[in-house]
Amino acid sequence: MSVTERPAGAPTRAHAPAHALVPYGQGRIRGLGADDLGTHGIAMDRLVALGLPVVPGLTVPAGSAASLCEPDIARAALELVEQLSGRRIGDRSRPLLLRLSASASTEVAGLPPDLAGIGLAPPGAGDLCAVIGREDALHEVWASTLRMTAEYALDVPGAELDDALLDAASTRARVDALLAAIARHTERTYPDDPAEQLALAARAVLARWASPRARRSRKAQRLPADLGIALHVQALRIGPWDRSGYGTAAGRDPGSGRFAPHGSFFRGVRRSAPPPHPGEPLEELGPAFALLEHALLTLERHLHAPVRVDFELRDGEIALLAASEVSRPPLRASVCLAADLGAQGALDREEAVRRVAPAQVQELLHPRLEPAGVDEPLVRGLPASPGAAAGPIALSSERALELGAAGTPAVLVALETTPADVPGMLAAAAVLTGTGGIASHAAVVARGAGRPAVCGAEGLRVDPAAGTVRIGDRLLHEGDPVSLDGRTGAVYAGTLPVTVAGPPPELSTLLDWADGIRRLGVRVNADTAAEVNTAVALGAEGVGLCRTEHQFLGDRLPLIRRVLLAAGQAARDEALRALEEAQHEDFRALLSAVGDRPVTVRLLDAPLHEFLPAPGEAGGPEAEHRAAALREANPMLGLRGVRLALLHERLYPAQAEALFAAWADVAATGVRPTLEVMIPLVSLPEELAAAAAYVRGAADAIAERTGVRVPYRLGTMIETPRAALLAAELARHAEFFSFGTNDLTQLTYGFSRDDVERQVLGTYQERGFLTASPFARLDPHGVGALIRLAAERARSVRPGIKLGVCGEHGGDPESVALCDDLGLDYVSCSAHRVPVARMAAAHSALRERRSESESAP
């Protein structure tokens, strides 16, 4: 029987239950959902509703899917598709075949493959091949459909089918072999009637779905074993090879994230298995490309997500076969789409901001390693500063400087770093230490400089004299390449690929919108003009913490050492004058970069051990004796901050005079920063009062010397629990508080921040005592409670007091949200975390607005 003929006596129109056959676009009208129509039926309904061209077809709902196995229902489906497509199976001028597919109510792996070429039969196959112009294109999909139908609907054993195909050298020979195998096993020929073929195809698809293998797959996906599927019958329109085909397209370029449709186009008839060749670029579609581009844009505006479509080209016309959101889209695509939709008004700008998480902002700002599946880390430490880098090992700051000058930035590896190592750290690509935590010297400097760092790498043994590094059983030499990821704390041997950082410009648009949403200010912890310039470009509103001790790092370290180790008052005064001159120069550059923004300058606060020379390096017996006398058993709680200033009474006046003189110089150029002077590590109101007197005296001295009365606010850093408890008393002397949450966390818990992360916190997190390191995420119950108490008590005395956070918690999204909830005025963090804090503050404000709207009557 020819494919162009119908069985004798067959009715011209079969009568099927009205609910059994649902043309694309009518599902919603009939009140049907995903449980009935499957994901594909829902998607096609959406496409029709959007006015997009779709391949004509229908859905047999999941509850009625088995009815398609009945010839009468199959014939009704066939005739309905013919009516929808305006074509007829067997018509040589406008030929038509059918495709059968399935979908469940949710995305699921292991669905039966599509069966195409339904309606083919030997007598008419030659005519269709002539229309296409390529015989193999038709026979390939025909053979696939025959193979599955034979095994699952006609019970032909798979082994018998495999044997039949052994000697089939061409696709046509495969079809002939399969038809012969079916005839032998069933003692009847494969039907020519397209309705009977469709009924058999439906039986095969449902049998495949009910097979033990498919059930095991659903169980592995935690889906019900009896999950139903809807069946979809589509028109497969046949046309000439050069004007017909199929393909897949996505709207967003995965590299840039911009709207730039890309994909592949294949000539011929669509088949289940991907073609073995790469296909042609979409531009080969000619005029149809513009319609495909329109469809992708329309879907993006409707779904508010990156999308992909499957399409068919027949006689130069595009029709969509399927459309879906891109699962796990590239981050750049999501960011660019949110900005595009917000700019077009298709999405509220608040919603556009909400769609980009603060952690995603950080991911865009820093490079990442791309280890292969076989790459195992040498060691894992603490993720102290985000980013990734690879380079040769340098075991000293000097070697890192040499390699950097030669154009080969190194990975500086040390047991721990000191202020003397800072030049090498800045020249290095990354930093790796065996001790210290995420608030250690290495971590703070690396974050401020934007260098990736891993600290507290357990088992790291460094032998600078031998030029070796031992990690467990692995021995590395200076110059050997290593790679590290400061986001995960992983360190690898060798050079791994590193993704290039660089957020798309659309992120700046979203951050600008975020700035209009957030209440909380965002400043930067910056000590140099270069760091300020970087931070301002990243959106910082000012400097929340300038650590003046960091200006003595590297080649200026001898200046502060001369002050500390001076043999007498005359020598100390001379050293202080040199210090004041150097700081005046630094402050002038810093204030010029700050411009008219606020800047909080913290007077000297560093543990003495960071400035003292190592034993034997003080420069003589007397200096060695003085250095030894200053060394402390617990320098983090020793002579530092305001205590050092009260014992060296000219130290803070010298710093303050340098600062005020620099402000006067900068003001003469028309730049007037809002100056805030901060006294660190205060525990007693009397300490703050005495230090404030030093600063006032310095201001008077500069006013007398220059005639300029420098406007400034004086405040203190709340770093000790006692200071938090005495906030009311301190507020009588201070116009602002800045919570130094690194030290406040250390002293509240009684944790040594340089040791406890490596030895204790990992175990505590594994046992569920802590959900995160309190040095990475602000503790809401202890430290947060102290901040809340201090804020309340300070405002009871001075209602307008400005309150901020300047610990690195200011760049952690959850900590930023807590600061917003505590009613603080701003957070301050390292430059490269400023965009993260801006987005986190906006998300916090959005959550607050949503909470208020939900609680409103």
The conformational region for residue 387 under phi > 0 = left, psi -120 to 50 = alpha, else beta, is left
What is the rounded CA–CA span in Å between residue 857 and residue 845?
20
Asked if 832 is an active-site residue, the reply is no
Tokens representing 89?
């199976």
What is the rounded CA–CA span in Å between residue 269 and residue 297?
26
Tokens representing 313?
């080209």
Tokens representing 87?
């074509």
Name residue 23's beta-bridge partners. Answer: 58
Would you say 443 and 386 are in contact if contact means Cβ atoms under 8 Å apart?
A: no
Give the 3-state secondary structure of residue 662. Answer: helix
Angle at 134 between CA 131 and CA 135, to 5 degrees: 95
Angle at 756 between CA 755 and CA 762, to 5 degrees: 125
Which residue type does 635 have?
P
3 state SS for 594-630? HCCCEEEEECCCCCHHHCCCCCCCCCCHHHHHHHHHH
Q: CA 782, 787, 790, 792: dihedral to nearest 10 degrees?
A: -110
- DSSP H helices, 287-330, are 288-303
Tokens representing 612?
């003292």
Q: Which residue has the tokens 């581009």?
A: 293
Tokens representing 825?
């005025």
What is the rounded CA–CA span in Å between residue 811 and residue 386?
12
Catalytic pick among 139, 232, 441, 809: 441
Per-residue burial over 373-408, b = 16 or more CB atoms within 10 Å of its CB, e = otherwise: eeeebbbbbbbbbbbbbbbbbbbbbebbbebbeeee
Catalytic pick among 336, 806, 819, 829: 806
Q: Which residue has the tokens 């059930």?
A: 215
Q: Where are the beta strands (DSSP E) in 486-576?
A: 490-493, 521-525, 543-547
Instruction: Tell me the CA end-to-end span of the chain in Å, nearest whole number.
Output: 73
Would you say 322 and 111 are in contact if contact means Cβ atoms under 8 Å apart?
A: no
**Would you tell me how many other CB atoms lie within 10 Å of the CB of residue 537?**
11
Would you say 541 and 826 are in contact if contact means Cβ atoms under 8 Å apart?
A: yes
Regarding beta strands 736-739 and 802-805, do their DSSP bridges make them parallel or antiparallel, or are they unpaired?
Answer: parallel
Q: Where are the beta strands (DSSP E) in 180-306?
A: 230-237, 245-252, 259-267
What is the rounded CA–CA span in Å between residue 765 and residue 589?
44
What is the rounded CA–CA span in Å between residue 826 and residue 662?
25
Q: What is the CA radius of gyration of the chain?
A: 36
What is the rounded CA–CA span in Å between residue 199 and residue 195?
6
Q: Considering only CA atoms, which of 109, 309, 137 is closest in space to residue 238?
A: 137
Asked if 69 is an active-site residue, the reply is no
Query: Which residues are known to be catalytic?
Result: 441, 806
